[in-house]
Structure 1
């Protein structure tokens, strides 16, 4: 049996990662206003560090930091991105915040071309446009009750999180050639905790028992999502990975409908279909199914 193309191995895992990231955003929103953004950020990364403290001894591996400077930058960019993403969730809710954060593939694709020398083919470019439009339709349908995108701290934080996410993914892609996923995740958790700790201490709010469940949800879902994402990005380009992760806003809308009783709107359903079509087309799955296979020349 011929080997499976690498991009097929990466994209299915990224779909799972996108769903888990949507759960993370859902749990983060559930404690918005009761805990500070810094506290939620620190909880996410502290749980990640606990996981890694068990992971490395159980697997017999050691962290690898072949390029310490780039390794540290990945963590700083990623930690800053999470902080501003959670700030956007706290200020403007999950839907608009996810929409703004989901613009990161545009930044990553541009940086990937100039820094990593990656090429964006027609399928990827078309898929990126389609999935971005689909995600926008999904989120737009959820803000018809008056909670829209307004210029302010939350919107600016969401936009900044997208820029930092793009930079973090470029650093991740550069590291994946000689650094394992767990070591990259260690950078993310360590520097992310350092980034969020001053904000948590500055605005510390008392914890109650009913907050522990959502905080564990934020941490555990983010650990699983980030490990899968980091591993899968070793098999796709920055632009290709960005296309698949555009499913996160669609999944966020679905979780809101199922778990919060939000109504299913036709525009959101159309957006989800456009988003899925963009993923299938951009990763090359749809062209392989719809277009006839080329025949060798006689």
Structure 2
């Protein structure tokens, strides 16, 4: 229809859902590579594929990168690269579902940072949501530790890596949200891939393991799903706030848990599921979305009849 304009919230939310599913597949493939390749190799594989994707993308669309503020552009990549490395460390030591869930707590940290650095409005429910999400993450960690046969030290490293990954993800998304207003999704993704590769390269060289056809194919899967998912997510963040972006991505742990159960037969302990619900509910509550769903805004009254 001529003149019809899609509301901005519908431009962002469906794209966030699609990116969440692709991120879940990326986590699944990364988990399949656990023990076959080092974390550094998986990180580098992800970002090399991303850079190859951009090498094709820019000539096809006839554009060049627009860096905007170079310092902010670099910070997005540094925070993002460190977050991805820690995220893959977490995936290597935990099951897919719990690892993704710990990383998915980033909206709480992103909302706090967005309030201070972007002056984005955050509801008064943030503190309660933070407490609930933290308790939920704790339940997930506890339940998963009871199910796993890994050593206590190895499990502890994975759990803390997931928490730190979430914090850095929140910082990276805030930087991306600020940068997105003056550049494009591909340029933001270029920062992510460039600095992420530089971050992961020393770890890959230090613990290099031989490649096989199967591992290369899985690496391609990690890279391709990551590249498309990140581009879609970055584009969607141009239409939503940091907090709303976090809410839309909360379906990722659900997808990841289901994929892990279906393809890797990973356990779904009842206590971990309870923690997951509490964690996701805390994120929804802390970002103010759950309250608006439970208590819808009143409809505007009709104008008086003349």
Task: Deviation per CA, 1:74-99: give whole Å up to 9, x if none.
Answer: 11110111011111111223233222
Gaps of 5+ in 1: none
**Structure 1 range deviating more: 184-193 or 5-14:** 5-14
Residue of structure 2 in register with 1:94 after alignment:
96
User: Aligned partners of 2:30 and 2:74: how far apart in 1?
Assistant: 25
Deviations 1:148-168 (A, max 9, x none): 996732222212111111110
Cα 1:147–1:99 shift into 2, 3 Å: farther
Q: Distance in 1 between matches of 2:270 and 2:79?
A: 37
Mark the CA change 1:257 to 1:25 in structure 2 (over 3 Å): closer, same or farther.
same
Give the aligned partner of residue 301 of structure 2. Answer: 295
Relative distance call for 1:191 and 1:263 in structure 2 (3 A) is: closer
Q: SS of 2:107's equivalent?
A: helix
Query: Aligned residue for 1:187?
Result: 191
TM-score normalised to structure 2 length: 0.83
Distance 1:3 1:288, change over 3 A: farther
Which residue number in structure 2 is paired with residue 167 of structure 1? 171
Quote the residue 1:75 is aligned against: 77
CA–CA separation in structure 2 for the residues paired with 1:297 and 1:142? 57
Contact kept, 8 Å, 1:20 with 1:222, in 2: the verdict is yes
- The residue number in structure 2 matching 1:203 is 207
Please report the RMSD computed on the Cα atoms of aligned residues, expressed in angstroms: 3.3
* CA distance in structure 2 between the aligned counterparts of 1:295 and 1:65, rounded to whole angstroms: 47
Provide the C-alpha distance between the structure 1 equivalents of 2:135 and 2:178, rounded to a whole number of angstroms: 28
Residue 128 to residue 15, structure 1, CA distance change in 2 (3 Å): farther
1:123/1:284 contact within 8 Å kept: no
Please, which of 106, 118, 121 is the counterpart of residue 120 of structure 2? Answer: 118
CA–CA separation in structure 1 for the residues paired with 2:18 and 2:138: 20
**1:16-43 Cα deviation digits (max 9, x unpaired):** 1111111111100101111111000000
- Cα gap change, 1:260 to 1:74, in 2 (>3 Å): same
Count of residue pairs brought into register by the alignment: 298
1:238 offset after TM fit, Å? 0.7
Residue 49 of structure 1 aligns to a residue whose secondary structure is: helix
Q: CA deviation at 1:136?
A: 7.8
Aligned equivalent of 2:33: 31
Partner residue in 1 for 2:22? 20
Cα deviation code 1:253-295 (max 9, x no counterpart): 0101222244667677777888888899965897499666222
For the 8 Å contact 2:97–2:254, the answer to whether it is kept is no
The question of 1:60 aligning with 2:66 is answered no
- What TM-score, normalized to structure 1? 0.85
Indicate which of 38, 41, 44 corresponds to 2:43.
Answer: 41
Judging changes above 3 Å, is the alpha-carbon distance between structure 1 residues 138 and 90 closer, same or farther for their aligned structure 2 residues?
closer
- Call closer, same or farther: CA 1:127–1:10 in 2, change over 3 Å: farther
Partner Cα separation in structure 2 for residue 16 and residue 184 of structure 1:
19
TM superposition shift of 1:207: 0.8
**Structure 2: how far apart are the matches of 1:266 and 1:287?**
26
Distance in 1, matches of 2:66 and 2:132, equals 38
Which residue is equivalent to 2:236?
232
**Superposed displacement of residue 201, structure 1:** 0.5
Q: Say whether residues 1:215 and 2:228 are aligned partners.
A: no
Note the residue ranges of structure 2 that are not aligned, 5 or more in a row.
Answer: none
- Sort the Cα spacing of 1:32 and 1:19 in 2 relative to 1 into closer, same or farther, 3 A: same
